[in-house]
Amino acid sequence: MRTLIKNGTIATAADLYKADVLIEDEKISLIGTDLAKLGSFDQTIDASGKYVIPGGIDPHTHLDMPFGGTKSADDFETGTRAAAFGGTTCIIDFAIQPQKGSLRQGLDDWHQKAEGKSCIDYAFHMIARDINKESLAEMDRLVKQEGVPSFKLFTAYPGVFLVDDASIFRAMQKTGENGGLICMHAENGPVIDVLIEQALGRGQTAPKYHALTRPARLEAEATHRVIALAEVAQVPVYIVHLSAKEALEQVREARDRGTKAMAETCPQYLFLSYENYEEPGFEGAKYVMSPPLRAKGNEDALWAGLRQDDLALVSTDHCPFCMKEQKELGKDSFAKIPNGAPGIEQRMSILWDGAVRSGRIDINRYVQITSTAAAKIFGLYPKKGTIAPGSDADIVVLDPKREIRWSAKTHHMRVDYNPYEGRTTRGSPTQVFSRGKLIVENDKWLGKTGAGRFIKRGPLTLSS
């Protein structure tokens, strides 16, 4: 199968130039001018006036995840199809060690959820909630044999995911030996639980108290702490879903003293704020996620962090729960609202509109924070994350003029609300290729359920 994408402007994290791209089977085989001369093609896409960019990589999703007494609403089929519509061609989802179970069991569970269902390529991180002799030994096997070299640990959610500092430290030392990477959910869970108990005791049950019981200071404290642990263990650390200016300051200070501290933020922290919790009735539940949305002003610091590379990339933390029957579990207590929000579909468009079109960052940086940085940090590069001969033909043709009006009525995610309902973004994919196959053309689904492959990653070199 030979596909020619002609007359487009290729944008990578480094370059911006007009050229044609030849795809042969699953790979990019040639980049050059006037490639139409090369003969006949099975498919030709005219990308005049459009950008040809690497498919988005979203390194933080939760598909089919049991949480808060229910399960995230998108499974691997619906979630990855929605991702593809939005221009994301690879995700890294979080497998979970079952309570009292092994990492191996968690990994098997997640393979079962994804195999035969995923519409795009996927990889896994492993959430470890019990660090002991056995799971530490299993970490070696995951890194060296199973293609899962990244692990998420929590300083939040006592009794569910929280692990203590000694466990975090041991796991960090282990990754120092085996080439893995520890990713941290950094919030001080035990203190947050005291604040939750006190708020509920005062009868403060509305969704906004979710945010008011998770102050930014407690994200900054945990961020500071896990960076200190990584410094003593002499390993890199990656902070997930960073939301607050104060937490970012901890990352920046660490980086300034030469520590390999990396962090991601998410669109919700750039485009929404605490004010959303003040929406009438129970509407604030839509935004119950952890860390919570922050006071206006924090987003300016996050944008600066993205420009200056103290924030390496933008993931989604896609973890959708429907308002009906799921978020509603917390009608009488914000503490029972399942934590998480949908975002897998709109990330590429909302960032193009709110970052590139608005002039906050340039196109190269856009490609870096939506694709290349994730590929480099998490061991997918150069197979994915760039437009180059030999790389997988995971390609998005992006029309800077294409508008989308976001709505739960038209989005492809299996969730009954959209946090950006009614917002119009300009600049969106018109064609999406997954390993050389055209899987989305405008509003049309051309892909196949189950065509996505598990991507085994090796020990990480952290060349980003």
Positions that interact with ligand URP (CB under 6 A):
62, 185, 241, 289-290, 317, 319, 339-340
Which pair of tokens denotes residue 3?
């596909």
Site for Zn ion (CB under 5 A): which residue of 93, 317, 394, 416? 317
Q: State the nearest-atom distance from the C-beta of 187 to ligand URP, in Å.
A: 9
CB 89 within 8 A of CB 56: yes
Among ligand URP, Zn ion, none, what binds residue 87 when CB lies within 5 to 8 Å by partner kind?
none
Among Zn ion, ligand URP, none, what binds residue 345 when CB lies within 5 to 8 Å by partner kind?
none
Applying CB under 5 A, does 224 fall inside the site for Zn ion? no
Residue 42 CB: number of other CB atoms within 10 A?
10
| Nearest residue (CB) to ligand URP, 285 versus 404 | 285
Which pair of tokens denotes residue 94?
């979080």
Name the closest residue to ligand URP (Cβ): 339
| Nearest residue (CB) to ligand URP, 62 versus 245 | 62
Binding-residue total with Zn ion (CB under 5 A): 2
Among Zn ion, ligand URP, none, what binds residue 339 when CB lies within 5 to 8 Å by partner kind?
ligand URP
| Nearest residue (CB) to ligand URP, 167 versus 339 | 339
Among ligand URP, Zn ion, none, what binds residue 187 when CB lies within 5 to 8 Å by partner kind?
none
| Nearest residue (CB) to Zn ion, 94 versus 381 | 94
* Per-residue contact flags (x/-) with Zn ion for residues 177 to 216, judged by CB under 5 A: --------x-------------------------------
Q: State the nearest-atom distance from the C-beta of 339 to Zn ion, in Å.
A: 8
Q: State the nearest-atom distance from the C-beta of 267 to ligand URP, in Å.
A: 13
| Nearest residue (CB) to ligand URP, 189 versus 447 | 189
| Nearest residue (CB) to ligand URP, 236 versus 291 | 291
Q: State the nearest-atom distance from the C-beta of 267 to Zn ion, in Å.
A: 13
* Per-residue contact flags (x/-) with Zn ion for residues 161 to 180, judged by CB under 5 A: --------------------
| Nearest residue (CB) to ligand URP, 317 versus 394 | 317
Name the closest residue to Zn ion (Cβ): 185
Q: State the nearest-atom distance from the C-beta of 185 to ligand URP, in Å.
A: 5
| Nearest residue (CB) to ligand URP, 47 versus 218 | 218
Judging by beta carbons within 10 Å of its beta carbon (0-12, 13-18, 19+), is residue 459 exposed, middle or buried?
Answer: middle
| Nearest residue (CB) to ligand URP, 330 versus 340 | 340
Q: State the nearest-atom distance from the C-beta of 340 to ligand URP, in Å.
A: 4
Q: State the nearest-atom distance from the C-beta of 241 to Zn ion, in Å.
A: 6
As a whole number of angstroms, the distance between CA 223 and CA 211 comes to 18
**Which residues in this chain contact Zn ion in the complex, by CB under 5 A?**
185, 317
